[in-house]
Amino acid sequence: MRAAPALAWGRLGLVLWMTACRSADDGRTHEPGAPHDETDRVRTEAQSASTTASQRRAVPAPESAGKAAEAGTRQYARRRHRLVERLAAEGIRDPRVLAALRKVPRHELVPADLRDAAYQDRPLPIGDGQTISQPAVVALMTELADIRPTDRVLEVGTGSGYQAAVLAELTDAVYTIEILPDLAARARRDLTRLGYADRIRFRVGDGHAGWPEAAPFDAIVVTAAPQTVPVRLKRQLAIGGRLVIPVGGSRRQRLKKIVRTAEGFDERDVLVVLFVPMVSGEAEGRSEP
């Protein structure tokens, strides 16, 4: 197995590549996403870590609920900034991506019982057999997509809404598709509550089909793994557009970056990853304003 693509991303790529290989080889699926039958174990481990962190804290009881909420917000912000500092030290270089990660409150997009684990660099279960991606993976995929302020961006796999929120910090034109209606509805509620609704358009449907009436896209980010690259997604790229997508079976995939050129498509493997499989559905997508 070639390690060169991972080494191109320095320490971050090497860590992700080694973790994905180790997880696939021994049957564990921590990084960067856990398949459906592993989410209970991931939840148990995250809850245990969250409980331990809570027990370690010796913060005096606040005088009011308002003060408690304010203290909690500051604490989450400190954890978020420490996480971003680690990602920068491990190889994320784009200052726009780092700034976006500092702004998006990941703890608001995970189940309440896992909030204390929100700023660990690991995936967490979000229900329906799905996970919120590891922050390092979100950072890497966003950096690969090279989002500019005027770009039109498609995300396939809304999930918790975390990746969509990060993209929305970089451009005002984000389109996101989720095939699971309950998950889509929850993400839309959370992103609206956090103030992203005017920058994100939502659709419930099969991500393999993309969003043809909104194409072409300057970037497409796919957060689940199809067996092969969906041709319809490639065709919805603008010239110069970037598609960042994990591709492969349920045990191991390759994260790919595909750029559309006037002559065709330039494709390269970045590193080994492990994502939940990309679900396919028969019904056409329904857009929601």
CA separation, residue 107 to residues 6, 104, 165 (Å): 29, 9, 13
Whole-number Cα distances in Å, 63 to 59, 67, 116: 12, 7, 22
How many Cβ atoms from other residues are within 10 Å of residue 64's Cβ?
8
Q: Which two tokens stand for residue 275?
A: 């994502």
Contact 262, 163 (CB under 8 A): no
Q: Report whether 54 contacts 282 (CB < 8 A).
A: no
Residues 6 or more apart whose CB falls under 8 angstroms from that of 280 comprise: 179, 206, 208
Q: Is position 287 annotated as part of the catalytic site? A: no
192, exposed or middle or buried, with CB in 10 Å at 0-12, 13-18, 19+? Answer: middle
Q: d(Cα 224, Cα 70) in Å, to the nearest integer?
A: 35
Residue pair 272/1 in contact (Cβ under 8 Å)? The answer is yes
Tell me whether strands 253-260 and 152-156 are parallel, antiparallel or unpaired: unpaired
> 48, 50, 54, 133: which one is catalytic?
133
Residue found by looking up tokens 């459906």 in the block:
36
Q: Which helix (H) or strand (E) holds 70?
A: helix 65-89
Place of tokens 């039958």: 37
Active site (catalytic) residues: 133
